[in-house]
Protein backbone atom coordinates (compact mmCIF):
# COMPACT_ATOMS: atom_id res chain seq x y z
CA UNK A 1 0.00 0.00 0.00
CA UNK A 2 1.29 3.47 -0.96
CA UNK A 3 1.14 6.27 1.54
CA UNK A 4 1.05 9.87 0.39
CA UNK A 5 2.91 12.17 2.66
CA UNK A 6 2.27 15.89 2.78
CA UNK A 7 4.89 18.29 3.87
CA UNK A 8 3.81 20.54 6.68
CA UNK A 9 5.63 23.59 5.31
CA UNK A 10 3.80 23.38 1.97
CA UNK A 11 0.36 23.79 3.53
CA UNK A 12 -1.29 27.18 3.00
CA UNK A 13 1.11 28.38 0.31
CA UNK A 14 -1.74 29.26 -2.06
CA UNK A 15 -3.28 31.88 0.25
CA UNK A 16 -0.46 34.45 0.02
CA UNK A 17 -0.31 34.02 -3.76
CA UNK A 18 -4.06 34.51 -4.08
CA UNK A 19 -3.94 37.61 -1.87
CA UNK A 20 -1.09 39.12 -3.89
CA UNK A 21 -2.96 38.40 -7.12
CA UNK A 22 -6.14 40.01 -5.78
CA UNK A 23 -4.23 43.15 -4.72
CA UNK A 24 -2.53 43.39 -8.13
CA UNK A 25 -5.81 42.97 -10.02
CA UNK A 26 -7.52 45.60 -7.84
CA UNK A 27 -4.64 48.04 -8.37
CA UNK A 28 -4.70 47.48 -12.11
CA UNK A 29 -8.49 47.96 -12.17
CA UNK A 30 -8.18 51.22 -10.25
CA UNK A 31 -5.52 52.48 -12.66
CA UNK A 32 -7.56 51.61 -15.74
CA UNK A 33 -10.64 53.22 -14.22
CA UNK A 34 -8.73 56.42 -13.48
CA UNK A 35 -7.39 56.59 -17.03
CA UNK A 36 -10.85 55.98 -18.47
CA UNK A 37 -12.33 58.76 -16.33
CA UNK A 38 -9.64 61.20 -17.43
CA UNK A 39 -10.21 60.31 -21.08
CA UNK A 40 -13.96 60.81 -20.72
CA UNK A 41 -13.46 64.17 -19.00
CA UNK A 42 -10.99 65.29 -21.68
CA UNK A 43 -13.46 64.37 -24.41
CA UNK A 44 -16.31 66.15 -22.63
CA UNK A 45 -14.15 69.25 -22.14
CA UNK A 46 -13.24 69.32 -25.85
CA UNK A 47 -16.86 68.86 -26.93
CA UNK A 48 -17.92 71.67 -24.62
CA UNK A 49 -15.16 73.97 -25.88
CA UNK A 50 -16.12 73.32 -29.49
CA UNK A 51 -19.81 73.94 -28.80
CA UNK A 52 -19.09 77.09 -26.78
CA UNK A 53 -16.81 78.59 -29.44
CA UNK A 54 -19.34 77.98 -32.19
CA UNK A 55 -22.25 79.23 -30.07
CA UNK A 56 -20.31 82.39 -29.24
CA UNK A 57 -20.07 83.24 -32.94
CA UNK A 58 -23.84 83.64 -32.98
CA UNK A 59 -24.64 84.84 -29.48
CA UNK A 60 -21.58 86.04 -27.59
CA UNK A 61 -20.14 85.08 -24.24
CA UNK A 62 -23.48 84.40 -22.51
CA UNK A 63 -24.51 81.87 -25.12
CA UNK A 64 -21.05 80.31 -24.97
CA UNK A 65 -21.39 79.89 -21.21
CA UNK A 66 -24.76 78.20 -21.60
CA UNK A 67 -23.43 75.88 -24.31
CA UNK A 68 -20.53 74.89 -22.07
CA UNK A 69 -22.85 74.29 -19.12
CA UNK A 70 -25.18 72.14 -21.22
CA UNK A 71 -22.14 70.00 -22.03
CA UNK A 72 -21.17 69.68 -18.36
CA UNK A 73 -18.27 72.15 -18.43
CA UNK A 74 -17.42 75.59 -17.23
CA UNK A 75 -15.60 78.28 -19.16
CA UNK A 76 -12.15 79.07 -17.81
CA UNK A 77 -11.28 81.76 -20.35
CA UNK A 78 -13.00 83.53 -23.23
CA UNK A 79 -11.42 85.91 -25.70
CA UNK A 80 -12.76 87.64 -28.77
CA UNK A 81 -10.66 89.41 -31.38
CA UNK A 82 -11.53 91.14 -34.63
CA UNK A 83 -9.01 91.69 -37.40
CA UNK A 84 -10.04 92.96 -40.81
CA UNK A 85 -13.65 91.96 -40.32
CA UNK A 86 -12.74 88.43 -39.19
CA UNK A 87 -14.05 87.71 -35.71
CA UNK A 88 -12.16 84.99 -33.83
CA UNK A 89 -13.32 83.52 -30.55
CA UNK A 90 -11.13 81.37 -28.33
CA UNK A 91 -12.67 79.42 -25.44
CA UNK A 92 -11.08 77.27 -22.73
CA UNK A 93 -13.36 74.90 -20.82
CA UNK A 94 -12.86 72.58 -17.89
CA UNK A 95 -14.52 69.31 -16.89
CA UNK A 96 -13.18 67.82 -13.69
CA UNK A 97 -9.42 68.36 -13.91
CA UNK A 98 -9.29 68.28 -17.72
CA UNK A 99 -9.13 71.44 -19.83
CA UNK A 100 -9.65 71.95 -23.55
CA UNK A 101 -9.31 74.87 -25.96
CA UNK A 102 -11.34 75.61 -29.08
CA UNK A 103 -11.32 78.45 -31.55
CA UNK A 104 -13.96 79.56 -34.05
CA UNK A 105 -14.00 82.37 -36.57
CA UNK A 106 -16.34 83.77 -39.19
CA UNK A 107 -13.63 83.61 -41.85
CA UNK A 108 -14.68 81.96 -45.11
Distance CA 46, CA 54 (A): 12
Is 2 inside any structural domain? Answer: no
Is 3 inside any structural domain? Answer: no
Is 10 inside any structural domain? Answer: no
The number of distinct structural domains making up the chain is 1
Is 33 inside any structural domain? Answer: yes
* Residues 105/99, Cβ–Cβ less than 8 Å: no
Distance CA 15, CA 22 (A): 11
List pLDDT tens digits, range 66-103.
Answer: 999 999 999 999 999 999 999 999 999 999 999 999 99
pLDDT score at 15:
85
Q: Is the pLDDT of residue 45 over 80?
A: yes
pLDDT score at 5:
63
Is 88 inside any structural domain? Answer: yes
Distance CA 75, CA 31 (A): 28
Q: Is the pLDDT of residue 46 over 90?
A: yes
Determine the structural domain holding residue 30 and report its residue range.
15-105
What is the pTM for the complete model shown? 0.75
Is 1 inside any structural domain? Answer: no
Amino acid sequence: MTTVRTRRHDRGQALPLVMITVVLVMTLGWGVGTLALQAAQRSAAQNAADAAALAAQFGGADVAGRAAALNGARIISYSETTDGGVRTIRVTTQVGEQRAVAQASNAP
